[in-house]
Amino acid sequence: MDAIKIKNVTYQYENGIKALTDITLNIPVGAKVALLGPNGAGKSTLLHHLNGLKEPSEGIISILGNPITRKNARFIRQQVGLVFQDPDDQVFSGTVWDDVTFGPRNLQMSEEEVQEICTAALGNVGMLEYKERAPYHLSYGQKKRVAIAGILAMRPDIVLLDEPMAFLDPAGQDEITGLLQGLHYMGKTILLSTHDVNFAASWADMVVLLKDGKILAVGSNQLLADEEFIRIANLHLPIIARTFKMVPEFSSSKLPINEQEAFRLLFKRFNENNKYQY
Ligand SMILES: Nc1ncnc2c1ncn2[C@@H]1O[C@H](COP(=O)(O)OP(=O)(O)OP(=O)(O)O)[C@@H](O)[C@H]1O
C-alpha cells in the first residue's frame, strides 16, 4: 500500500505564485524519500500539503488510503508528523516536557500514556535529561531534537522533515542520521527535503527532484549520479561520484553515489583483475 498518494496537485499562493504544478507521486509504506531541488522549487510547500497544513488548489492527496479533507484534519495530523525547518516555529512551551506532552494531551491520552510515550520520545532523541529545561536555553540542534520528539510523541506512521540537517554541525547531522535510521527500523515512512546530495545518496532509497514546482524526476538514489538531472536541478554530484569520475578507469561506468556502492564497484573491479591468479 502507498503511504502517500499525490494526484495532480497544484497550489497557488494568494499572491498568485504557483508553487506546485500538477504533482503526481506515490510513496510506498516504509520508504526513505529525499526531496531535492533548488531554492524556491516548492519542497516546503509540498511537505505542508501532506499533513493537511495547506490545501491543494487542485488535486487530491491520500494518506494510507484516506483522502485528506477538512473533516479528517485531526486524524491526518496524527498519522503524518511534520518537523519544520526552524525548530523555533515548533517548540514554544515553557519546558521541554510541556512541549513534548502538548500533542498527546491534546489527543486526550491518559496521563499514564502521556508519561510513557513522551519519556520514550525524548529518550529516542537523547533529550530526556533536558526535560525540565526551557527550550530557549537549548542549542539549535537540541531544539531540533525536541521538535522531532514532539512529533514522535504523536506516534505518526509517516514522518516529514523539512531540511533536518540545516544549520547542524557534523556531529549533530550524524545524530539526526542515526535517528532517521531508528525511525526507519520502527517501520515509519520518511520523507524529507534536503540540499545535501551526499546525505541523500547514502540515506534515501527514493529520490524526488523538484524544480519550479514541477517534478523533474523520481527514482532510486542512483538518480543522483545522473549528471543531466543534477545540472537541471542545480545540484552537484555526490562527492564519491565526483571522485570516481576523475579516475579514467571508472569515468565511463555507472558512478557510485555512496560508500557502499563505491566498495561494491572496487571489489568487482579487483576480482575481475585478479580472476586468473587463483
Ligand atoms: N507564504 C508565501 N506566499 C507567497 N509565495 C510563497 C510563500 N511561501 C513560498 N512562496 C513561493 O512559493 C515557491 C516555493 O517555495 P518553497 O518555500 O516551497 O520552496 P523550497 O523548495 O522549500 O525552497 P528552499 O529550498 O529555499 O527552502 C517560491 O517561489 C516561493 O517564493
pLDDT beyond 90 at 214: yes
Comparing CA positions, the residue from 106, 95, 89, 100 lying closest to residue 123 is 100
Half-sphere exposure at residue 194, Cβ-oriented, CA atoms within 13 angstroms: 28
Give the pLDDT of residue 116.
95
Cell numbers of 183, please? 525511525
Q: Is 15 in the pocket of ligand 1 (CB under 6 A)?
A: yes
The predicted model gives 193-203 an average pLDDT of 95
Predicted confidence band at 73 (pLDDT cuts at 50, 70, 90)? confident
pTM value > 0.80: yes
Return d(Cα 208, Cα 193) in angstroms, integer.
Answer: 9
Does ligand 1 have an atom closer than 6 angstroms to the CB of 44? yes
Q: Which amino acid is at 116?
A: E
Domains of the chain: 2-237 (3.40.50.300), 238-278 (no CATH)
Residue 97's Cβ-count burial label (10 Å; 0-12, 13-18, 19+) is: buried
pLDDT band at 277 (very low <50, low <70, confident <90, very high): low
What is the model's pLDDT at position 276? 59
Residue among 117, 131, 163, 158 at smallest CA distance from 144: 163
Q: Check residue 168 and give its pLDDT.
A: 84
Residue of higher predicted confidence among 245 and 27: 27
Question: Is residue 100 predicted with pLDDT exceeding 80?
Answer: yes
CA 36: distance to chain centroid? 10
| 3 within 8 A of 157, measured Cβ to Cβ | yes
23 C-beta closer than 6 A to ligand 1:
no
- ipTM rounded to 2 decimals: 0.98
Q: What's the rounded Cα separation, in Å, for the pair 29 and 99?
A: 28
Please report the atom of ligand 1 found closest to the CA of residue 163. 27
Residue whose Cα lies nearest atom 24 of ligand 1: it is 39
Distance 19 CA to ligand 1 centre (A): 7
Pocket test for ligand 1, best of 14, 44, 55, 216 (most atoms within 8 A of CB): 44
Task: Give residue-wise pLDDT tens across range 219-246.
Answer: 999 999 999 999 999 999 999 999 998 9
Give mean pLDDT, residues 190-195.
Answer: 97
Span 184-208, mean pLDDT? Answer: 95
pLDDT, one tens digit per residue, over 260-271 is 889 988 888 888
* Mean pLDDT in residue range 67-84: 92
Cβ neighbors of 165 (< 8 A, separation 6 or more) are: 173, 176, 194, 196, 199
Q: Which of 9-23, 102-116, 137-151 has the highest mean pLDDT?
A: 9-23
